[in-house]
């Protein structure tokens, strides 16, 4: 069988060797219960505090201006964050293209919420403005949409938000952006952002929410939920330390990696534009999308079928988001972007990682061309 070509990095990225090394060493040394009162537990707490400080610094956030809350997954940390009492009041705004975990958590709150209109996947600022008012408690949007790769203009959203809804908490899902593109923490005046280790080359099992330091200890209620209600799983300390290491490694090579994945993205697009059996449909031009994610529609073709055909050739891509893969319903993200129901089943996602090569991108694209011909 041919060597595997893995192009589903938006779902999970291969583990970085140095992150794995940190994880293995910490599993051996950080075995104590971090909530105990003895010295061994205190060592772990100090290491986690240091790791949190390094993570904040790595993101370009000024020291002592943000805090970190660790959890075991992005889904878990979102669920805990939205249980904060401040979100039980007022109104929430989000888009119809948010991660299912965020949408589900908002629905569980039982408070009024509205969907921000999208223009082919991007936030329509002109239609967002009338939705903003002083009783908005939360605006939660992604920086990079995990399925389509579309990048939102967070600074523009933040500027509008501070004028029209100054007391609202501005939460950015930066899970697909961390370590890959610049996160506009200051420019967008963000209050919080999300990171997941599995998306940046960590062994997984850890996620973090970074929260701007304010007048009150916003994260204390989250800790209470963990200890009293067991709503938030306590992550393995080794996984948290590995997450920070993985982020540091990605950040150190961010410019180099970005250029590399952009070249692979262009190589794949070149095949799509060269006598491809069907005209691929892009929701946004390349300048409005992350180079790490190439998404397109192949009208008339079931994406799941093509994914299985390529998988048989040891080439791994995705039919949209893994969270909605094997469901009978079309992609909510594509529907929110204005794609018709029939075409919403035809979306394919190619997601590149630093470990991939241009040759792999071309090989996968040619294999997809052949799969479409044999469909």
- HSE (side-chain half, CA atoms, 13 Å) at 272: 18
What pLDDT was estimated at residue 229?
Answer: 42
Distance, C-alpha 116 to centroid of its chain: 19
Radius of gyration for the alpha carbons in the chain, expressed in angstroms and rounded: 21
Rounded CA-CA distance 67/277 in Å is 51
Predicted model pTM: 0.92
What pLDDT was estimated at residue 218?
Answer: 52
The dihedrals phi and psi of 297, each to the nearest 5 degrees, come to -105, 140
In the chain, where the domains are located: 5-13+254-374, 17-251
Determine how many CB atoms are found less than 10 A away from the CB of residue 263: 15
Q: Is 117 helix (H, G, I), strand (E, B) or coil?
A: coil
CATH C-level class of 17-251: alpha beta
Rounded CA-CA distance 288/305 in Å is 28
Determine how many CB atoms are found less than 10 A away from the CB of residue 77: 26
The dihedrals phi and psi of 275, each to the nearest 5 degrees, come to 55, 40
Tokens describing residue 10: 């938006």
pLDDT values of the chain reduced to their tens digit, one per residue, 375 residues? 689 999 999 999 999 999 999 999 999 999 888 888 899 889 999 999 999 999 999 999 998 899 998 988 888 888 878 878 888 888 999 999 999 888 988 888 888 899 999 999 999 999 999 999 999 999 999 999 999 999 999 999 999 999 999 999 999 999 999 999 999 999 999 999 999 999 999 998 899 999 998 744 555 545 544 544 444 567 899 999 999 999 999 999 999 999 999 999 999 999 999 989 999 999 999 999 999 999 999 999 999 999 999 999 999 999 965 555 556 788 999 999 999 998 999 999 999 999 999 999 999 999 999 999 999
- Sequence-distant (≥ 6) Cβ neighbours of residue 246 within 8 angstroms: 15, 16, 18, 19, 179, 197, 200, 201, 202
- Nearest Cα neighbor of 344 from 321, 310, 362 is 321
Distance, C-alpha 344 to centroid of its chain: 21
The dihedrals phi and psi of 132, each to the nearest 5 degrees, come to -90, 135
Is the domain spanning 5-13+254-374 CATH 2.60.120.620? The answer is: no
């Amino acid at each position: 069988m041919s060597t595997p070509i893995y192009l589903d990095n938006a779902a999970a990225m291969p583990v970085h060797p140095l992150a794995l090394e940190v994880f293995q060493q910490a599993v051996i040394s950080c075995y104590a219960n971090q909530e105990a009162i003895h010295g061994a537990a205190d060592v772990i707490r100090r290491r986690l505090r240091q790791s949190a400080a390094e993570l904040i610094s790595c993101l370009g956030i000024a020291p002592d201006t943000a805090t970190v809350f660790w959890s075991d997954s992005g889904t878990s940390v979102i669920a805990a964050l939205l249980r904060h009492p401040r979100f039980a009041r007022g109104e929430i705004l989000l888009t119809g293209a948010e991660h299912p975990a965020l949408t589900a958590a908002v629905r569980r709150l039982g408070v009024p919420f509205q969907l921000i209109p999208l223009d082919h996947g991007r936030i329509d600022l002109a239609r967002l403005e009338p939705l903003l008012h002083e009783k908005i408690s939360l605006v939660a949007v992604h920086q990079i949409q995990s399925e389509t790769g579309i990048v939102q203009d967070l600074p523009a959203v933040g500027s509008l938000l501070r004028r029209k809804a100054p007391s609202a908490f501005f939460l950015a899902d930066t899970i697909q952006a961390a370590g890959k593109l610049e996160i506009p923490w200051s420019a967008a005046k963000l209050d919080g952002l999300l990171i997941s280790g599995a998306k940046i080359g960590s062994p997984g099992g850890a996620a973090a929410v970074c929260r701007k330091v304010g007048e009150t200890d916003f994260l204390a209620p989250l800790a209470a939920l963990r200890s009293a209600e067991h709503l938030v799983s306590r992550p393995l300390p080794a996984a948290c330390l590995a997450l920070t290491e993985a982020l540091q490694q990605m950040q150190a090579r961010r410019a180099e990696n970005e250029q590399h994945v952009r070249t692979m993205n262009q190589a794949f697009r070149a095949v799509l534009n060269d006598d491809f059996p069907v005209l691929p449909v892009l929701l946004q031009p390349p300048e409005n999308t992350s180079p790490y994610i190439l998404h397109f529609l192949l009208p008339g073709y079931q994406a799941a079928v093509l994914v299985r055909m390529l998988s048989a050739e040891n080439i791994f891509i995705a039919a949209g988001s893994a969270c909605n893969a094997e469901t009978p319903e079309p992609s909510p993200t594509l529907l929110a972007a204005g794609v018709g129901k029939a075409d919403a089943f035809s979306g394919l996602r190619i997601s590149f990682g630093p470990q991939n090569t241009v040759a792999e991108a071309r090989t996968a694209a040619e294999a997809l061309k052949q799969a479409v011909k044999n469909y």
